[in-house]
A = this chain, B = another copy of it.
Amino acid sequence: MITARVIRISEPGGVEVLRLDQSEIAEPGGSEVLVAVRAAGLNRADVLQRRGLYPAPPGYPQDIPGLEFAGEVVRVGPRARCYQPGDRVMGITAGGAMSTHLLARERELIPIPMRLSFAEAAAIPEVFLTAYDALLIQGGLRAGQAVLIHSIGSGVGSAALQLGLLAGAQVIGTSRSELKLETCRGLGLKHAVLVKDAAFARQVREQTEGRMAQLILDTVGGAYLGENIEALAPGGQIIVIGLLGGARGDLSLNSLLAKRASIHGSVLRSRSLEEKAALAQGFIRELLPRFESGELRPVIDRVMPMDSIQQAQRRMEQNLNFGKIVLQW
């Protein structure tokens, strides 16, 4: 047993329920790896979990937030083959990453490229695995296609922007903040759409010269559903990964049929271990070299000490961040 320092959600509530505490972590068995966590990225799911709205899946701590981490391998289980103590690794987990120690399965881990610090690495897994899965794996985005990315200034948005450009697609990014759009232009965004009153389909038509978007990465949900179908090209695909604009929407099946379009709900957290491992391995093969070369890079809002978790979550709730907030021990 290792005694780890952790962030504890003492009860559902505001940021004041978050406090430093201790927890016991078991020794690694089988192909498990014990990671000394150096930094953990902050996600909206952490905020929802703190409010009691997004429980961790069975088998994960309910009261320790944290869905991604970067750190150093401390000990490995008897059947672990890929890592040894001292290796720098990052990854996603379904809960409990805001802890000084974490048990991970080695096939879910991703080596940290030389050029990146732990804090930089902690900003990668959730947003880049999500964008990789949605745009490239599920969406099959190809060169020449148009992809519409909502909340382009968010963590997932700025990761998706980079992947879309890497894939040779026409990336159209939306935000309700001109400031965030301006910052994204610095990351290579050429087609920026400022959204007012949840309207954007007309601008997508203009930017694509009528071809519309083959793929839409949506973090908003209900409020954008109608315009999303409007903005979609025939045979196009909407991948919904977040519901910041409401969980219910009035769906025009007529339009869906006429366009032969599809709507996909997608989350990483509830996937099976095998699926997560397959995603991590694909990421290692296809995208990790692009981080090593510097073509892809994490977008970090700020790095804060772990004991500033209350301020960090408040900053996210106020939507003040551009890119990832990272907490480090």
Name A's B-contacting residues (CB within 8 A): 221-222, 225, 234, 240-241, 243, 246-267, 270-271
Partner of A240, one of B256, B264, B266: B256
Which of B225, B255, B264 meets A262, CB within 8 Å? B264
Chain B's closest residue to A240 (CB) is B253
Nearest-neighbour CB distance to chain B for A209, whole angstroms, equals: 20
Q: How many Å lie between the Cα of A150 and that of B316 in the bound state?
A: 45
| A192, chain B: closest CB distance, angstroms | 26
Contact of A263 among B246, B256, B259, B267 (CB under 8 A): B256
Cα of A324 to Cα of B286 in the assembled complex, Å: 50
Known contacts A248-B252, A253-B240: A265-B260 contact under CB 8 Å = yes
Distance, CA A271 to CA B260, complexed state (A): 9
Report Cα–Cα, A263/B238, bound state, in Å. 10
User: Which of B240, B253, B261, B263 lies in contact with A243, CB distance below 8 A?
Assistant: B253
Describe A's contact surface by its main secondary structure: mixed
Chain B residues positioned under 8 Å from A262 (CB to CB): 262-265
Q: Chain B's nearest CB lies how many Å from the CB of A262?
A: 4
Task: Let me know if B265 and A259 touch, CB within 8 A.
Answer: yes
Known A256-B240, A260-B266, A270-B260: A250·B247 in contact at CB below 8 Å? no
Residues of chain B lying within 8 A (CB to CB) of residue A263: 251, 256, 262-263
A257: chain B residues within 8 A (beta carbon): 240-241, 243, 265-267
- Say whether A254 contacts B261, CB under 8 Å: no
* Bound form: Cα–Cα A250–B226 in Å: 12
Are B240 and A247 in contact, CB atoms less than 8 angstroms apart? Answer: no
Q: How far is the CA of A240 from the CA of B259 in the complex (A)?
A: 12
- In angstroms, Cα B240 to Cα A256, docked, is 9
Which residues of chain B come closer than 8 Å to A249, judged between CB atoms?
250-251, 253
